[in-house]
Amino acid sequence: MSNFCHLLNCQFFLIISFEPNRAERVLNTFDPAGSVYFIAAAFFLFGLVFGSFLNVCIYRMPREISVVSPRSACPACEAPIAGYDNIPVLSWLILRGKCRQCKAPISARYVGVELLTGALFVLSYLSAPAMVRLIYQQWALDVRPNELLVAAKMCVLCFLLVGLIFTDAETKLLPDLLTKPGMVAGVVFSLLVPLEGPAHYFLPSVDNWRILSLINSIAGAVLGSAFIWGVALLYEAVRGVEGMGRGDVKLMALIGAFVGVKLTLLVLLLGSLIGSFFGLFLILWVWLKRLLRRRRTHRAEAGSVSRSRAWNSAILIYRNFEIPFGVFLGTAALLAAFWGNTLVQWYVNVSGLGKLH
C-alpha cells in the first residue's frame, strides 16, 4: 500500500510541476515507466469495491434503509452474508449466483454493477490525460489541472450515475441521498478542475479561473434542472398528470454541475433521443406480441383488423407505462462526459458551423 501511495505522490508532483514543453511526456498515460497498468488495475479494484457498495445503495435507499447498518443480508432468507461471500464479482461466481444458505438466486445485476463501475473507473483514469490537454486548449489562462483530480472527478460522476441509473430502472426513483450530495460534489470539483462555459465570454475581465469555473458549474446545474422542470410543468398543465418526477430535475442539476452548459445541452438532446428510441421499441415490441396473440386466438379475423387492434392495445399500454427517464439522462451523461466534446466537434465539422468563424 505504501508503494501505491508513493506512486500517486510521484504523479501528483509531476502534474503540479507541469511545463508546456513536457506535456506529451508527462501526460503519456500508456508509458510503462509510469506504472500505468498497475494504477489502472488499482482503479479497477476500487471500482469493484465502490460498485459493491452501490448495490447496497440501489437496494436500500428506495426502501429508506440505512446503507451502513445492518450488515448485508440475503433478500430472500435474510441470512447475514459472511465477509468471504461478499467479495465483488468473485463471490458471485463461486456461489454460482445463489445464496449459500437458502440457494435463492442472486440477480446478475449485482455483478453487472460491480464490473461496470470498475470499467468506468479505469476509463476515467485512462481518459484523464486527454481531458487535461483539452482544458489547456479551452483555457487561455495559466491553468495547471491535476490529472489525478480529473480522474477522481470522473470516478465520482460515474459512481453517482451508475447508482442512479440502476435505481431508477428498478424502482422508478432517484434517491436524494445520491442526487443532492452529487450536486454539491459537482460544484466543489469546479473549484479543483477547470470547467469550460459561458463565463469565459460574459466575464472577460475576471482572471481567476476558479471563479469562472464555479459560475460555469452553477450555470450548468441551473440550465439542466430548469429545462426538465419546465417540461414537467408544461406536461402537467397540458395532460393534467405528472410527466416527470422531481428526481429528474435534481439529476439534471447534478449532471449540469459536473459537465457545464455545453455538455448539459448535449445530455438533454441525447437523453431525449435515447428515450424516444426506447419508447418506439417498446411500442413495436408490445404491438408484435399483441398481434401474434390475436392471430392465434382470432384466426378468422382479417389481418388489417388484427394489426389495428394490436396497435391500439400497444398504445394504451405505453400510455400507462412509467418510463424511467433518469435512465436515459444518466446514460446520456456518461456518453457526454467521456465523448461529448468529440461529438460536438464532429457535429460542428459536419454541419459547417466551424466555417462561420
Distances (CA, A) of 167 to 138, 153, 164: 35, 21, 5
- The answer to whether 217 and 209 have CB atoms below 8 angstroms apart is no
- The answer to whether 146 and 192 have CB atoms below 8 angstroms apart is yes
Amino acid, single-letter form, for residue 260: G
How far apart are alpha carbons 91 and 41 in whole angstroms?
A: 19
Name, in order, each residue with C-beta under 8 angstroms of 104's C-beta and a sequence gap of 6 or more.
Answer: 74, 75, 76, 77, 98
Nearest to 110 by CA among 27, 40, 185, 53: 53
Would you write out the chain's pLDDT as a tens digit for each of its 357 residues? 434 344 434 443 433 343 344 444 444 554 545 588 889 999 999 999 999 999 999 999 998 898 888 888 887 887 888 888 889 999 989 988 888 888 889 889 999 999 999 999 999 999 999 999 888 887 766 667 788 999 999 999 999 999 999 999 999 999 999 999 999 999 999 999 999 999 988 888 888 899 999 999 999 999 999 999 998 888 777 776 666 778 999 999 999 999 999 999 999 999 999 998 988 888 888 888 888 888 888 777 887 878 888 888 777 766 667 778 999 999 999 999 999 999 988 888 887 665 555
Partners of 80 in beta bridges: 73
Half-sphere exposure for 79 (CA within 13 Å, toward CB): 13
- Residue 127: per-residue pLDDT: 95
How far apart are alpha carbons 274 and 254 in whole angstroms?
A: 19
- The answer to whether 217 and 186 have CB atoms below 8 angstroms apart is yes
Q: What are phi and psi for residue 193, nearest 5 degrees?
A: -125, 120
| DSSP annotation of 102 | T
- Residue 253: per-residue pLDDT: 97
Number of other CB atoms surrounding residue 353 within 10 Å: 11
How far apart are alpha carbons 44 and 72 in whole angstroms?
A: 22
- Residue 353: per-residue pLDDT: 66
Amino acid, single-letter form, for residue 163: G
- Residue 140: per-residue pLDDT: 67
The 3-state DSSP class for residue 322 equals: coil
Amino acid, single-letter form, for residue 143: V
- Residue 74: per-residue pLDDT: 83
- The answer to whether 34 and 28 have CB atoms below 8 angstroms apart is yes
- Residue 141: per-residue pLDDT: 60
- Residue 299: per-residue pLDDT: 77
> Which residues in 154-189 are b (16+ Cβ under 10 Å) and which e?
bbbbbbbbbbbbbbbeeebbbbeebbeebbebbbeb
How far apart are alpha carbons 157 and 128 in whole angstroms?
A: 13
Distance of CA 278 to the CA centre of its chain: 18
| DSSP annotation of 98 | B
Partners of 105 in beta bridges: 98
How far apart are alpha carbons 73 and 82 in whole angstroms?
A: 9
